A and B are shown apart, each in its own frame.
Chain A
Amino acid sequence: MSLQNASRVDPITFEVVNNALIAVCGHMAESLRRTSYSPIIHDAADFSCALLDADANLISENIGCPIHLGTLPLSVRTAVEEYGPERLRPADILGVNDPYRGGVHLNDLAFIAPYFVDGRLFCYVANRAHWPDIGGYESSGLAGGSATELMHEGVIVPPVRLRSEGVVNQDVVNIIMANVRGPRERRGDFFSQVASVDTGLVRLEQVLQRHGVATVEASFKEALSYAARRMRRAIEEVPDGKYHFEDRMDDDGVAEGPIPVHVTVTVAGDRLKVDYTGTGREAKGPLNSAYGMTLSSTYVILKALLDPFGPANSGWYRDIEIVAPEGTLVNPRPGAPVFGGGVEVGPRIADVVMGAMAQAIPERVIGALYGTINSSFLSGVDPKTGDHYIYNDWIPGGWGGAIDHDGVSCMIELCGNTDDIPIEIVELKYPLRYHRSALIPDSGGPGKFRGGLGTERIIEILSEGARASIQADRTVTKPWGQFGGGGGANTRYSVVRCNGDIDVVGGRRPDGTAVSAKRSFDLRKGECLRIEAAGGGGYGEPRERDRARLEHDVQNGYVTDEGRRAYE
């Protein structure tokens, strides 16, 4: 093997420079997290920072949200093409959030800064962070159960200059701020994203001074081909064949469900093709996965299955072909609402690709993950301050069991990598009080190695006039098991009324009928929102489970005496 021929940079210099480039993104992330205003950014870390070359190839990233990263290159490419690269100047920042221009959902605003060397556009640093509100007719941008157009979901930011040669473009900022709820907090997040971009520019400059422009440029190229080499090698290890799988979304919140998601994965040598033909039509409600989002979701699961520890840059998916017919759930026409595209359809894309690949690489798959991000947003007016508040949370569930270990409980879906917002921070910042946050016994799918457990949360509303927006899935279909393993428990949302009555507002009612978990509704002071997040699927036959493990589960309340029967 001769690596020197692949590029003009030797392997040592490459490793040295590549480490420095990854560190640039780490520095950006540290800055963003420490200064941002919204818990969803600083505690939940729903953001990503990246460095891209002049052709908008992703070169390096921080350990951020996987779904952001596959889409950032598209956002940068589209934004720059549309805005005109010749109009960009040093210290400019472009902003964009349009999902049909490579974005995720409108809340995720990308900040893109070009970097020039001797007047030549050399590369970009960019970050993308989730704003708790972006306008639209429900707080938080999630108009579950009602949005039928992208415009219902919030303000669309086409590629615009947020900063021109170092001066913040106040007119644009004013328009954005006039269209979002909680502009004071949004303003803090805005400056935090600017500070993070500037940190990236400064650190990048130091890397260039230290190693020289030519070496860094050669390292960009080598980073991409290195990743591509790794991915091709990983694909070669997968047996050739055509693998199918189908699963479904419960519903889109507006029209009746279910909506099928179908995949055919074809492996031939070092080539891999993913074809979504057979997937249901574009959704009426806010559940569409825009094309860029579908690419990103596919990359995430393929990387997890094939080369999880390799570099994450545009190179590793260079040779993967993806087919997503236009007008379907996975490639809607511009203007269709998208809030759940990445966070609901994304997990299902991961499920079907993993389901298909289970036939080829059984030792590398796990039981289905809990399969939804469980967006659970509460908003209203804080009686203490009179300010509008928005509390965004995602409720994590269980991951699937694996070939040699149980699934992890209470971990966020593969598509995201957010943290929880501590209960004490929630109670300090919002008129809310937790009554429960605990694992749900028996919610992990039984198996030789069982699925991780789902979690239950009960949150009391302490002020009048609150509103909930929820979007969740897996309320009727279960996260399935692999190779004989059972499914995890379903998702369910309920409201505990002041008189103690419990009304199911998303998922199966006690009588077996189901109600959509994609909707918005009012909550009164003293009422509680109760969320039960799904568990993961099991792996292998439950009766093969080691008896000592089963006893341990029962003693510690992960499995009840009744649940034990699934293992007999």
Chain B
Amino acid sequence: MKGETKVPDGRFRLGVDVGGTFTDLMCTSPAGEVRIGKVPTRVEDPYGAICEGLALMGLTIADVSVIAFGTTIATNTVIERNGANTALLCTDGFPDILEHQRWHRRHLYDLQQTRPEPLVPRRLRIGVTERITAEGDVLQELEPSEVAGLVGRLREEGVDSVAVCFLNSYRNPHNEQRAGAALREADGELYVSLSSSIAPLIREWERTSTTVVNAYVQPVIDRHLGELRRSLRATAPDMGLHIMQSNGGVISVEQASSEPVKTVLSGPAAGVVGAVAVGDAVGERDLITLDMGGTSCDVALVRDGSPQVSKEGEADYNVPITVPMLNVKTIGAGGGSLVWIDSGGALKVGPGSAGAVPGPACYGRGGTQATVTDAQLVLGRLPRGGLLDGTMSLDPAAAEEALRNVADELGLSVHELAGGVVRISNVLMAEAIRMLTVNRGLDPRDFTLLAFGGAGPLHACELADELQIPKVLIPVTAGVLSAAGLASAGVKVDAVNALNVSIDEITLGELESEFNALENRCHELLNEHGIPPDQRTIERSADLRYRPQSFEVTVPITVGQTGRVAELFTTLHHSLYSYSLPEEVPFLVNVEVTARGHQQAQAAGRLEDADREPVPTGSREIFVLAEEEWVESPAYRRDELRRGHRIAGPAVVDQLDSTVIILPGFVGDVDGSGTIVLTREADAA
């Protein structure tokens, strides 16, 4: 194979997105060449899956210089509860922090509700004598012999990973560090996770949970990545191997293995990074990204080319993790979301899903309940010939029948119901987007919608109408954008320190030295990646609030602005919440530094210029909700579109892994990067 497809100028970067079912791969060359592949996931043999995928793309491992690897293994380990046998060392008297959780109930009125079992059973949550005060003073120093004395018991219980989280350790890591040293000395085989190094932030439950997740997934991830590393060392010893983190940047295998909790939400993050790259190529830097797949829909916000970062995430219900992650909001609205009527006769869509099996009724795999995909098929929006270039046939009769069961009960026609199902799922997505924008003082109309995932491009125009968004982007790699994000992601590391002082209690000099210390730590990490000093971006930010409040506002601090942090906070608070209290002295909770290695620029523009008008390969009637009528629409093939092509709605564009609906009133312009840029005819140039 290799002989036939020489790689002309330079080797490829390979993005590998390991999902639960499929592993997506995408290669980019410095010249801008892109190749895409999809193979079944092999949990025990990631290297084998990569080689198989490369072969599909006509490449071998020797054609690749760098692999960026994203994996849902950490997430799945938590959700499926099949991680390491983990113990937790805690402050004596506080063994049940993991079990207390927050008291808040998921269902307000449900008497029958239960809570998830903690990742560490109660007998392995062991109190040790130690205490740090809220001010960070050592009230009771930890005695290493007490910790060393526990190791025998841990061995008997078959524990191979230990989390250590003491009260107030975010202020002073002294006792945790002593405990960690004692554990390692007593048993060098144990994995040890200290909360003061994983997530040194206030709030004991969240910090304990984060540390425990790290400990719980660490042996699994270490094994998985170690396997990959070993295989690569044998065949491609100089291969760069990067691991995607939840914050949208990549780190080394070693860093990922020591802090795997930072990779837990890497899948959705990779999609957002891919979206940013697509936006950059088109020149759009304020994006709302929408990734709609089979079971759920992820939405995220990108401002001025930077995805929003948050430290309030969950690995699973009631398993919080407080490490920096891209702020991706997930809702239960996907193509497989079920259509149903509740006991009061109201029409509902989701959050239950038909999943991959049995899937929507029209998949013909035994599903009988109607889904959003069935509704889309009945509305003529999906290709009659089936999905995945016709290799997966669709059964319109089954879709109609499933919908009719519901429609009859509501006294609607099948088409009225199908239209309604699509409208309802659009509203669910629109509300999630409003939560990210309107609620933060932002106007969705100032953003561009970037829709991807198998189902995103089907809903994009309607959603843009719902939110009055002027422009929509549909990337050419809509179905594998996470892999594309991996291929384009740069190294990104962060360091945080909890200060918890009034802003008038810290001098500018002290603040500068806090930031400098964090910057030095980041530089060390970038040094490990061999990133030259002139190829780095350093960003400072600070989390502040009015002292009595409990939720911080993250204030980005540009060069030379460190002294103005209080003022920046006041302005930001006002724009977020429409009020500020200038006479109050803001409280500085955390200082944080994020450092990136510059990514070698990818050549943009790989599509050839169009030399003639695009030619439809056929046409089909699609139902337009706004007009409530069927419209004959030409159908195009995505891979036949060229740069400069313009398609006016109504039209459909079919591609291997998705279908783009261009509604009447919209026009789509094909950009050099292959992206379809949709605008309203009235606004189009």
Interface string of A18-42 (1 = CB under 8 A from B): 1110010011001101111111001
Residues of B within 8 A of A437 (CB): 93-94, 96-97, 100
Is the CB–CB distance between A1 and B409 below 8 Å?
Answer: yes
CB-based contact A308/B203 at 8 Å: no
Among B202, B346, B412, chain A packs the most CB atoms within 10 A around the CB of B346
Mark the stretch among A90-98, A158-166, A224-232, A318-326 that contacts chain B.
A224-232
Residue B548 at the chain A interface, CB threshold 8 Å? yes
Among the 9-residue stretches A247-255, A514-522, A552-560, the one with 4 or more Cβ atoms under 8 Å from chain B is A552-560
A199 within 8 A of B: yes
Contact of B344 among A311, A417, A422 (CB under 8 A): A311
Q: Is the CB of A424 within 8 A of B549?
A: no
Contact (Cβ within 8 A) B347 A557: no
Instruction: Tell me if B551 and A42 are in contact (CB < 8 A).
Output: yes
Q: Which residues of A contact B417 (CB under 8 A)?
A: 12
A419, B104: Cβ atoms closer than 8 Å: yes
Task: Tell me, rounded to whole Å, the shortest Cβ–Cβ distance linking A552 to chain B.
Answer: 9
- Determine whether the beta carbon of B549 is less than 8 Å from that of A35: yes
CA gap between A455 and B438 in the complex, in Å: 40
Tell whether, in the assembled complex, residue B347 and residue A11 are in contact, meaning their CB atoms are under 8 Å apart.
yes
Complex CA–CA separation, A3 to B123 (angstroms): 55
Asked whether any CB of chain A lies closer than 8 Å to the CB of B500, the reply is yes
A229: chain B residues within 8 A (beta carbon): 344-345
- Count of B interface residues, CB-CB < 8 Å: 71
| Contact in complex: A436, B93 (CB < 8 Å) | yes
In the complex the two chains form, is B546's CB within 8 Å of A188's CB? yes
Query: A423–B97 Cα gap in the complex (Å)?
Result: 10
Q: Among A14, A300, A303, point to the contact of B346 (Cβ < 8 A).
A: A14
Of the listed stretches B384-392, B427-435, B451-459, B634-642, name the one at the interface; the rest are far from the partner chain: B427-435
Q: Answer yes or no: A381 CB below 8 A from chain B CBs.
A: no
Q: C-beta contact mask, B518-560 vs A, less than 8 Å → 1, else 0?
A: 0000000000000000000000000000101111000000000
> CA–CA, A4 to B424, complex, Å?
18
Residues 355-386 of chain A, each 1 if its beta carbon lies under 8 Å from chain B, else 0? 00000000011100000000000000000000
**Chain A nearest Cβ from B466, distance in angstroms:** 8
Contact pattern, B 41-72, Cβ under 8 Å of A = 1, otherwise 0:
00000000000000000000000000000000
Least CB separation from A440: chain B residue: B96
In the complex, the chain B residue whose C-beta lies closest to that of A363 is B112
A230 cross-chain contacts in B, Cβ below 8 A: 342-344
Task: Give the distance in Å from the alpha carbon of A439 to the alpha carbon of B94 in the complex.
Answer: 9
**A63 surroundings in chain B (CB, below 8 A):** 108
Q: Is A297 an interface residue (CB 8 A)?
A: no
Interface size class of A (residues with CB under 8 A): 35 or more
Within 8 A of A (CB), among B306-355: 342-349
B110 to chain A, nearest CB (A): 4
Residue of A nearest to B432 (CB): A23
Q: Chain B contacts of A436 at CB under 8 A?
A: 93-94
Q: Using a CB-CB cutoff of 8 Å, which residues 400-452 of chain B contact chain A?
A: 409-412, 416-417, 419-420, 423-424, 427-428, 431, 434-435, 438-439
Partner-contacting stretch, out of B79-87, B573-581, B597-605: B573-581
Are B100 and A12 in contact (CB-based, < 8 A)? no
Interface of B is mostly: loop
- At the interface with chain B, which of A110-118, A122-130, A267-275, A425-433? A425-433
* Beta-carbon contact of A16 and B105 below 8 Å: no
Is A295 in the interface zone, CB < 8 Å from B? no
Is A23 a contact of B103 with CB atoms below 8 Å?
A: no
Interface centre among B94, B99, B349 (most CB of A within 10 A): B99
A275 and B383 alpha carbons, distance in the complex (Å):
62
Q: Are B114 and A408 in contact (CB under 8 A)?
A: yes
Is A2 an interface residue when CB atoms closer than 8 A count as contact? Answer: yes
A233 within 8 A of B: yes
Q: Which residues of A contact B427 (CB under 8 A)?
A: 15-16, 19-20
Least Cβ distance of A126 to chain B in Å?
A: 18
Separation of A20 and B429 alpha carbons in the complex (Å)? 11
Which of A31, A194, A308, A438 is within 8 Å of B110, CB to CB?
A308
Assuming the contacts A30-B439, A37-B546, A63-B108, asked whether A412 and B344 have C-beta atoms less than 8 A apart, the reply is: no
Do residues B111 and A414 form an inter-chain contact, with CB atoms below 8 A? yes
Q: Which residues of B contact A410 (CB under 8 A)?
A: 96, 99-101, 103
| Contact among A203, A422, A434 with B203 in the assembled complex (CB-CB below 8 Å) | A422
Shortest CB-to-CB span from B135 to chain A, Å, is 9
Check if A405 is an interface residue, CB within 8 A of chain B.
yes
**Residues B435 and A419 in contact, CB atoms below 8 Å apart:** no
A41 to chain B, nearest CB (A): 9
One of B110, B134, B347 near A427 (C-beta < 8 A): B134
* Contact A433:B133 (CB < 8 A) given known A27-B435, A424-B202: yes
Contact between chains at B577 and A438 (CB < 8 Å): no
- A258 part of interface (Cβ distance < 8 Å): no
* B residues 89-122 in Cβ contact with A at 8 Å: 93-97, 99-105, 107-115, 121-122
Interface residues of A in 282-338 (CB under 8 A from B): 300, 303-305, 307-312
A234 on interface, CB distance cutoff 8 Å = yes
Out of B104, B112, B123, B345, name the residue touching A402 (CB < 8 Å).
B112
Whether the Cβ atoms of B347 and A185 lie closer than 8 Å is no
Contact in complex: B103, A304 (CB < 8 Å)? no
Assess the B424–A423 pair: CB atoms within 8 A.
no
Q: How many angstroms from the CA of A460 to the CA of B103 in the assembled complex?
A: 23
CB distance from A344 to the nearest CB of B (A): 18
Contact B550 A27 (CB under 8 A): no
Contact B577 A195 (CB under 8 A): yes
Report A372 CB to chain B, min CB distance, Å: 15
Nearest B residue to A305, CB-CB: B111
- Closest chain B residue to A553, Cβ basis: B122
Chain B residues, Cβ within 8 Å of A233: 343-344
Contact A304 B439 (CB under 8 A): no
**Across the interface, do B546 and A422 meet the contact criterion of CB distance under 8 Å?**
no
> Cβ of B168 and Cβ of A424 under 8 Å apart?
yes
Taking a contact as CB atoms under 8 Å apart, the answer to whether A428 and B500 are in contact is: yes
Q: B134 near A23 (CB under 8 angstroms)?
A: no
Hey, which chain A residues are within 8 Å of B104, CB to CB?
45, 412, 417-419
Is the Cβ of A3 less than 8 Å from the Cβ of B410?
yes
CB pair A310 B344 closer than 8 Å:
yes
Instruction: Report the separation of the CA atoms of residues A408 and B100 in the bound assembly, to the nearest whole angstrom.
Output: 10
Nearest CB on B from A398, distance (A):
12
- Distance, CA A402 to CA B114, complexed state (A): 10
Contact A556 B122 (CB under 8 A): yes
Q: Are B438 and A420 in contact (CB under 8 A)?
A: no
Are the C-beta atoms of B123 and A556 separated by less than 8 Å?
Answer: yes
A34 to B577, CA, bound (A): 9
Known: A20-B427, A27-B438, A188-B548. A2 touches B411 (CB 8 A): yes
Task: Check if B111 sits within 8 Å of A364, measured CB to CB.
Answer: yes
The answer, yes or no, to whether B259 is at the interface (CB within 8 Å) is no
Residues of A within 8 A of B110 (CB): 304, 308-309
Chain A positions within 8 Å of B112 at CB level: 308, 364, 366, 402, 405
- Nearest 6 CB-CB pairings of A with B: A12-B420, A230-B344, A427-B134, A37-B548, A556-B122, A42-B550
B→A interface (CB under 8 Å): 93-97, 99-105, 107-115, 121-123, 133-134, 167-168, 170, 202-206, 342-349, 409-412, 416-417, 419-420, 423-424, 427-428, 431, 434-435, 438-439, 466, 500, 546, 548-551, 576-579, 581
| Residue ranges of A at the interface with B (Cβ–Cβ < 8 Å) | 1-4, 10-12, 14-16, 18-20, 23, 26-27, 30-31, 33-39, 42-43, 45, 63-64, 66, 185, 188, 191, 194-195, 198-199, 202-203, 206, 210, 226-227, 229-230, 233-234, 300, 303-305, 307-312, 364-366, 396, 399, 402, 405, 408-412, 414, 417-420, 422-425, 427-429, 433-439, 455, 458, 555-558
Additional pairs, 20, CB under 8 Å, beyond known A42-B551, A230-B344, A396-B100: A12-B424, A14-B347, A18-B346, A35-B549, A36-B550, A185-B548, A191-B579, A195-B578, A234-B343, A303-B109, A305-B111, A312-B109, A412-B103, A414-B111, A419-B103, A419-B104, A420-B100, A420-B103, A423-B204, A438-B95
A-B contact pairs, 9 of them (CB 8 A): A303-B109, A310-B344, A312-B108, A402-B111, A409-B99, A410-B103, A414-B109, A423-B204, A435-B93
